[in-house]
Protein backbone atom coordinates (compact mmCIF):
# COMPACT_ATOMS: atom_id res chain seq x y z
CA UNK A 1 0.00 0.00 0.00
CA UNK A 2 1.55 3.33 -1.03
CA UNK A 3 2.32 5.77 1.79
CA UNK A 4 0.76 9.23 1.84
CA UNK A 5 3.09 12.21 1.34
CA UNK A 6 4.23 13.72 4.66
CA UNK A 7 2.40 17.02 3.95
CA UNK A 8 -0.87 15.14 3.35
CA UNK A 9 -0.44 13.07 6.52
CA UNK A 10 0.07 16.27 8.53
CA UNK A 11 -3.01 17.82 6.94
CA UNK A 12 -5.16 14.84 7.88
CA UNK A 13 -3.75 14.79 11.42
CA UNK A 14 -4.63 18.42 12.19
CA UNK A 15 -8.18 17.81 10.99
CA UNK A 16 -8.43 14.77 13.26
CA UNK A 17 -7.28 16.84 16.25
CA UNK A 18 -9.69 19.64 15.34
CA UNK A 19 -12.56 17.17 15.19
CA UNK A 20 -11.65 15.65 18.59
CA UNK A 21 -11.58 19.12 20.17
CA UNK A 22 -14.78 20.13 18.38
CA UNK A 23 -16.52 17.05 19.77
CA UNK A 24 -15.22 17.84 23.27
CA UNK A 25 -16.58 21.40 23.07
CA UNK A 26 -20.00 20.28 21.84
CA UNK A 27 -20.19 17.53 24.45
CA UNK A 28 -19.28 19.97 27.23
CA UNK A 29 -15.87 18.55 28.12
CA UNK A 30 -14.62 22.11 27.56
CA UNK A 31 -17.26 24.62 28.70
CA UNK A 32 -17.86 28.17 27.45
CA UNK A 33 -15.02 30.46 28.49
CA UNK A 34 -12.86 27.56 29.70
CA UNK A 35 -9.14 27.72 28.97
CA UNK A 36 -7.98 24.77 26.85
CA UNK A 37 -4.78 22.83 27.53
CA UNK A 38 -1.72 24.60 26.14
CA UNK A 39 -0.48 23.87 22.64
CA UNK A 40 2.40 21.88 24.13
CA UNK A 41 0.01 19.84 26.29
CA UNK A 42 -2.30 19.19 23.34
CA UNK A 43 0.71 18.11 21.31
CA UNK A 44 1.65 15.54 23.96
CA UNK A 45 -1.96 14.36 24.32
CA UNK A 46 -2.35 13.81 20.57
CA UNK A 47 1.28 12.93 19.76
CA UNK A 48 1.48 15.77 17.28
CA UNK A 49 3.79 18.68 16.62
CA UNK A 50 2.96 22.16 17.88
CA UNK A 51 2.55 23.31 14.28
CA UNK A 52 -0.11 20.64 13.70
CA UNK A 53 -1.92 21.54 16.94
CA UNK A 54 -1.86 25.25 16.08
CA UNK A 55 -3.37 24.50 12.66
CA UNK A 56 -6.18 22.52 14.33
CA UNK A 57 -6.89 25.39 16.73
CA UNK A 58 -6.87 27.93 13.90
CA UNK A 59 -9.50 25.85 12.12
CA UNK A 60 -11.67 25.91 15.26
CA UNK A 61 -11.16 29.66 15.53
CA UNK A 62 -12.35 30.08 11.95
CA UNK A 63 -15.49 28.15 12.95
CA UNK A 64 -16.05 30.53 15.91
CA UNK A 65 -15.55 27.79 18.51
CA UNK A 66 -12.37 29.05 20.19
CA UNK A 67 -10.48 32.29 20.74
CA UNK A 68 -6.99 33.11 21.97
CA UNK A 69 -5.91 35.75 24.47
CA UNK A 70 -2.33 36.87 25.13
CA UNK A 71 -1.01 35.35 28.35
CA UNK A 72 -3.80 32.75 28.63
CA UNK A 73 -3.68 30.76 25.41
CA UNK A 74 -6.75 29.23 23.80
CA UNK A 75 -10.25 29.14 25.28
CA UNK A 76 -13.77 28.16 24.27
CA UNK A 77 -15.79 31.05 22.85
CA UNK A 78 -19.13 32.12 24.35
CA UNK A 79 -21.73 34.83 24.04
CA UNK A 80 -20.98 38.08 25.92
CA UNK A 81 -22.95 39.16 28.98
CA UNK A 82 -23.45 42.88 29.56
CA UNK A 83 -23.95 44.42 33.01
CA UNK A 84 -25.33 47.93 32.67
CA UNK A 85 -23.77 50.54 34.94
CA UNK A 86 -26.56 53.09 34.73
CA UNK A 87 -29.08 51.05 36.73
CA UNK A 88 -28.82 49.04 39.95
CA UNK A 89 -29.27 45.57 38.45
CA UNK A 90 -27.36 42.39 39.26
CA UNK A 91 -25.60 40.46 36.54
CA UNK A 92 -27.75 37.43 37.41
CA UNK A 93 -30.81 39.50 36.51
CA UNK A 94 -29.20 40.38 33.19
CA UNK A 95 -28.47 36.70 32.54
CA UNK A 96 -32.07 35.79 33.31
CA UNK A 97 -33.29 38.39 30.83
CA UNK A 98 -31.11 36.93 28.06
CA UNK A 99 -32.02 33.31 28.85
CA UNK A 100 -28.45 32.28 29.71
CA UNK A 101 -28.27 29.35 32.16
CA UNK A 102 -26.75 30.54 35.41
CA UNK A 103 -26.65 29.67 39.08
CA UNK A 104 -25.01 30.71 42.31
CA UNK A 105 -23.12 28.49 44.72
CA UNK A 106 -22.95 29.82 48.29
CA UNK A 107 -19.52 29.11 49.75
CA UNK A 108 -19.92 30.82 53.14
CA UNK A 109 -22.81 32.29 55.13
CA UNK A 110 -21.84 33.67 58.51
CA UNK A 111 -22.07 36.59 60.93
CA UNK A 112 -18.58 37.98 61.51
CA UNK A 113 -16.65 40.93 62.85
CA UNK A 114 -16.57 43.31 59.91
CA UNK A 115 -13.29 43.49 57.92
CA UNK A 116 -11.31 46.69 58.37
CA UNK A 117 -12.51 48.08 55.04
CA UNK A 118 -16.16 47.37 55.91
CA UNK A 119 -16.47 48.28 59.59
CA UNK A 120 -16.30 52.09 59.17
CA UNK A 121 -19.20 51.90 56.68
CA UNK A 122 -21.50 49.15 57.99
CA UNK A 123 -20.52 48.85 61.65
CA UNK A 124 -18.61 46.27 63.72
CA UNK A 125 -20.78 43.18 62.90
CA UNK A 126 -22.05 42.07 59.51
CA UNK A 127 -23.51 39.11 57.67
CA UNK A 128 -20.87 37.92 55.22
CA UNK A 129 -21.97 35.86 52.21
CA UNK A 130 -19.36 34.52 49.85
CA UNK A 131 -20.48 32.81 46.67
CA UNK A 132 -19.41 31.63 43.25
CA UNK A 133 -21.44 32.72 40.22
CA UNK A 134 -21.58 30.40 37.21
CA UNK A 135 -22.81 30.93 33.67
CA UNK A 136 -23.23 28.09 31.17
CA UNK A 137 -21.86 25.82 33.90
CA UNK A 138 -18.51 27.64 34.20
CA UNK A 139 -17.39 30.02 36.99
CA UNK A 140 -17.27 33.69 36.02
CA UNK A 141 -17.17 35.58 39.34
CA UNK A 142 -16.40 35.26 43.03
CA UNK A 143 -18.75 37.54 44.95
CA UNK A 144 -18.61 38.54 48.62
CA UNK A 145 -21.44 40.60 50.10
CA UNK A 146 -21.49 42.19 53.55
CA UNK A 147 -24.89 43.16 54.93
CA UNK A 148 -25.49 45.43 57.91
CA UNK A 149 -26.16 43.34 61.01
CA UNK A 150 -29.53 44.89 61.89
CA UNK A 151 -30.90 44.17 58.38
CA UNK A 152 -29.64 40.59 58.23
CA UNK A 153 -31.46 39.08 61.22
CA UNK A 154 -34.21 37.52 59.08
CA UNK A 155 -32.03 36.58 56.08
CA UNK A 156 -31.38 32.86 55.68
CA UNK A 157 -28.90 30.73 53.75
CA UNK A 158 -31.76 29.66 51.48
CA UNK A 159 -32.64 33.30 50.76
CA UNK A 160 -29.19 34.18 49.42
CA UNK A 161 -28.90 30.88 47.56
CA UNK A 162 -32.01 31.63 45.54
CA UNK A 163 -32.13 35.42 45.25
CA UNK A 164 -30.06 38.55 45.10
CA UNK A 165 -29.84 40.70 48.23
CA UNK A 166 -31.68 43.38 46.24
CA UNK A 167 -34.68 41.05 45.96
CA UNK A 168 -34.96 40.47 49.72
CA UNK A 169 -37.63 42.42 51.69
CA UNK A 170 -35.11 43.42 54.38
CA UNK A 171 -32.88 45.17 51.86
CA UNK A 172 -34.34 48.25 50.21
CA UNK A 173 -31.51 49.64 48.12
CA UNK A 174 -32.16 52.93 46.36
CA UNK A 175 -28.74 53.43 44.78
CA UNK A 176 -25.05 52.57 44.94
CA UNK A 177 -21.54 53.77 44.25
CA UNK A 178 -19.14 51.49 42.43
CA UNK A 179 -15.43 51.34 41.67
CA UNK A 180 -13.72 49.12 39.11
CA UNK A 181 -10.01 48.31 39.16
CA UNK A 182 -7.41 45.80 38.00
CA UNK A 183 -5.64 43.54 40.48
CA UNK A 184 -3.75 40.24 40.51
CA UNK A 185 -5.70 37.07 41.20
CA UNK A 186 -4.85 35.50 44.56
CA UNK A 187 -4.45 31.74 44.89
CA UNK A 188 -7.88 31.14 46.43
CA UNK A 189 -9.80 33.05 43.76
CA UNK A 190 -7.63 31.56 41.02
CA UNK A 191 -8.60 28.07 42.18
CA UNK A 192 -12.30 28.97 42.33
CA UNK A 193 -12.31 30.61 38.89
CA UNK A 194 -10.01 28.07 37.23
CA UNK A 195 -7.35 30.56 36.13
CA UNK A 196 -3.61 30.89 36.85
CA UNK A 197 -2.58 32.48 40.12
CA UNK A 198 -1.45 36.13 39.78
CA UNK A 199 -3.32 36.47 36.48
CA UNK A 200 -5.25 39.66 35.82
CA UNK A 201 -8.53 40.20 37.66
CA UNK A 202 -11.18 42.86 37.25
CA UNK A 203 -12.42 43.77 40.73
CA UNK A 204 -15.71 45.62 41.20
CA UNK A 205 -16.51 47.05 44.64
CA UNK A 206 -19.97 48.43 45.38
CA UNK A 207 -21.59 50.18 48.34
CA UNK A 208 -25.40 50.29 48.30
CA UNK A 209 -27.55 52.85 50.12
CA UNK A 210 -31.17 53.12 51.24
CA UNK A 211 -33.48 56.04 50.41
CA UNK A 212 -32.11 58.08 53.31
CA UNK A 213 -28.56 57.65 52.07
CA UNK A 214 -27.51 55.18 54.77
CA UNK A 215 -25.13 52.39 53.64
CA UNK A 216 -26.72 48.95 53.86
CA UNK A 217 -24.56 46.62 51.75
CA UNK A 218 -20.98 46.32 50.52
CA UNK A 219 -19.93 43.87 47.84
CA UNK A 220 -16.79 42.73 46.05
CA UNK A 221 -16.95 40.99 42.65
CA UNK A 222 -13.82 39.37 41.22
CA UNK A 223 -13.90 38.53 37.49
CA UNK A 224 -11.12 36.81 35.49
CA UNK A 225 -9.46 39.58 33.52
CA UNK A 226 -9.15 37.60 30.32
CA UNK A 227 -12.92 37.02 30.26
CA UNK A 228 -13.97 40.52 31.19
CA UNK A 229 -13.77 43.99 29.76
CA UNK A 230 -15.29 47.34 30.67
CA UNK A 231 -17.27 49.09 27.93
CA UNK A 232 -18.07 52.78 28.27
CA UNK A 233 -20.01 55.19 26.07
CA UNK A 234 -18.21 58.48 25.41
CA UNK A 235 -20.46 60.84 23.41
CA UNK A 236 -19.25 64.35 22.61
CA UNK A 237 -20.96 67.05 24.71
CA UNK A 238 -23.94 68.62 22.98
CA UNK A 239 -24.16 65.98 20.24
CA UNK A 240 -26.45 62.93 20.07
CA UNK A 241 -24.64 59.63 20.53
CA UNK A 242 -24.20 57.73 17.25
CA UNK A 243 -22.91 54.39 18.51
CA UNK A 244 -23.32 50.77 17.37
CA UNK A 245 -26.29 49.01 18.94
CA UNK A 246 -23.99 46.58 20.77
CA UNK A 247 -22.54 49.51 22.71
CA UNK A 248 -25.75 51.46 23.23
CA UNK A 249 -25.35 51.41 27.00
CA UNK A 250 -22.23 51.36 29.16
CA UNK A 251 -21.48 48.14 30.97
CA UNK A 252 -19.24 45.46 32.32
CA UNK A 253 -18.88 42.91 29.55
CA UNK A 254 -18.03 39.27 30.24
CA UNK A 255 -16.49 38.36 26.93
CA UNK A 256 -15.79 34.74 27.97
CA UNK A 257 -13.30 34.05 25.28
CA UNK A 258 -14.50 36.67 22.82
> Which option is the CATH number for 6-76: 2.60.40.10, 3.30.470.30, 3.50.50.60, 1.10.10.10?
1.10.10.10
Of the candidates 231, 254, 132, 117, the residue with the CA atom closest to the CA atom of residue 188: 132
The residues that bridge with 111 in the sheet, in sequence order, are: 127
Per-residue pLDDT of the chain (258 residues; tens, 9 = 90+): 444 444 544 458 888 999 999 888 888 788 777 778 888 999 999 988 989 999 999 998 888 888 887 666 888 876 655 555 555 556 666 666 666 667 889 999 999 999 999 999 999 999 999 999 887 777 888 999 999 999 998 899 999 998 889 888 888 888 889 888 889 999 999 999 888 888 888 898 999 999 999 999 999 999 887 777 666 666 666 655 555 544 444 555 555 433
Contact call for residues 77 and 255 (beta carbons, < 8 A): no
Domain locations in the chain? 6-76, 81-254
Give the span between the Cα atoms of 209 and 144, in whole angstroms.
17
CA geometry: angle 225, 227, 229, nearest 5 deg: 70
pLDDT score at 236: 64
| Residue 165 backbone phi and psi in degrees, to 5 | -55, -35
The residues that bridge with 68 in the sheet, in sequence order, are: 74
pLDDT score at 83: 57
pLDDT score at 216: 95
Query: Which superfamily, per CATH, for 81-254?
Result: Chorismate lyase-like (3.40.1410.10)
Amino acid sequence: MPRLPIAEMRSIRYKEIAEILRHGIRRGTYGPGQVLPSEAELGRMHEASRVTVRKALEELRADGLVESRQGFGWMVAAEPVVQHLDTLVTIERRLAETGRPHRRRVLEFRFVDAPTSVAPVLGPRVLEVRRLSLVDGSPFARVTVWCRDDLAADISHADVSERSFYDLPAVRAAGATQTIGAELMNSEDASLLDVPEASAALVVRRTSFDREGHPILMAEHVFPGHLTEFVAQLPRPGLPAQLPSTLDRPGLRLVEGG
